[in-house]
């Protein structure tokens, strides 16, 4: 994995291995890094770049009970710097990303940069996992909505979401809770549930249009 930082835009991206490499056992074993090493290295980088307020410390790993697997702008968090939660995303975006001063304070500042399809955490690490992946599979990143929430690959969206769900399930502790937030902008919830290896306990639609659903899963294994 390679970390790249564009000084002109203050945007950092994680260059990930290909899907073939990810599924290759030898590659995965030789390249996987421990949570402590990845997090300390990335936190130090973020701190030096003034992206995060402070780096996460190696000796505090045990305090993170909650993982937000693709945190984005942390918009549904009441306490956006909750110390029980570890915030992950594959991108960083500074304030002022949109034209005409629209939503000027929105930004993406994860604690750790990683793809939700291949997370650098040990199995059964978190009591709660929040999974709010991109839900749009069409359009370009020139769109404000797509730029803010991200876009799924129209050809591989099902495989990507299933891979992400399985990773969330892997890092979830036994008797842990997975919260899956979804919007039916491109894919119906019924089609999504059919693709997942586990079924939710319950869920409810919210929002003005009623197209957003919050689903709850319990890991009883």
What pLDDT, in 10s, does the model give residues 138-188? 666 566 666 666 777 788 999 999 999 999 999 999 999 999 999 998 899
Question: Looking at residues 113-136, what average pLDDT do you find?
Answer: 94
What CA–CA distance (Å, rounded) separates 16 from 166?
A: 18
Q: How many structural domains comprise the chain?
A: 1
Average pLDDT over residues 105-130: 91
State the Cα–Cα distance between residues 117 and 125, nearest whole angstrom. Answer: 16
Q: pLDDT at position 70, please?
A: 92
Mean of the pLDDT values across residues 62-74? Answer: 90
pLDDT in tens, 7-56: 333 333 333 444 444 444 443 344 444 444 444 444 333 333 333 444 45
| Average pLDDT of the chain, as a whole number | 75
CATH number for the domain including 119? 3.40.50
Question: What domain range includes position 55?
Answer: 2-218
Task: Identify whether the C-beta of residue 169 lies closer than 8 Å to the C-beta of residue 126.
Answer: no
Confidence check: pLDDT of 120 > 90: yes
Confidence of residue 97 (pLDDT cuts 50, 70, 90): low
Residue 58's pLDDT is what?
41
- Confidence band (pLDDT; 50, 70, 90) for 202? very high
Q: What is the pTM of this model?
A: 0.70
**What pLDDT shows up at residue 73?**
87
Q: Which residue has the higher pLDDT, 207 or 213?
A: 213
Tokens coding 160 = 């990507």
Residues composing the chain: 221
């Amino acid at each position: 994995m390679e970390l790249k930082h564009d000084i002109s835009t203050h945007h950092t991206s994680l260059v990930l291995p290909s899907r073939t490499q990810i599924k290759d056992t030898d590659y995965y074993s030789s390249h996987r890094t421990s949570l402590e090493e990845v997090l300390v290295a990335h936190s130090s980088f973020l701190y030096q770049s003034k992206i995060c307020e402070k780096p996460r410390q190696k000796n505090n790993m045990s305090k993170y009970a909650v993982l937000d697997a693709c945190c984005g702008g942390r918009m549904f968090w009441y306490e956006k710097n909750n110390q029980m939660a570890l915030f992950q995303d594959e991108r960083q975006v500074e304030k002022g990303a949109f034209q005409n001063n629209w939503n000027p304070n929105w930004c993406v500042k994860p604690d750790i940069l990683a793809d939700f399809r291949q997370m650098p955490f040990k199995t059964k690490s978190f009591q709660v996992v929040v999974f709010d992946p991109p839900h749009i599979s069409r359009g370009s990143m020139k769109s404000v909505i797509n730029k803010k929430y991200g876009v799924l690959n129209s050809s591989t969206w099902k495989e990507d979401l299933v891979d992400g769900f399985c990773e969330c399930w892997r890092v979830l502790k036994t008797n842990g809770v997975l919260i899956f937030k979804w919007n039916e902008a491109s894919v119906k919830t019924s089609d999504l549930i059919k693709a997942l290896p586990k079924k939710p306990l319950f869920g409810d639609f919210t929002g003005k249009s009623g197209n957003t659903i919050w689903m709850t899963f319990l890991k009883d294994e």
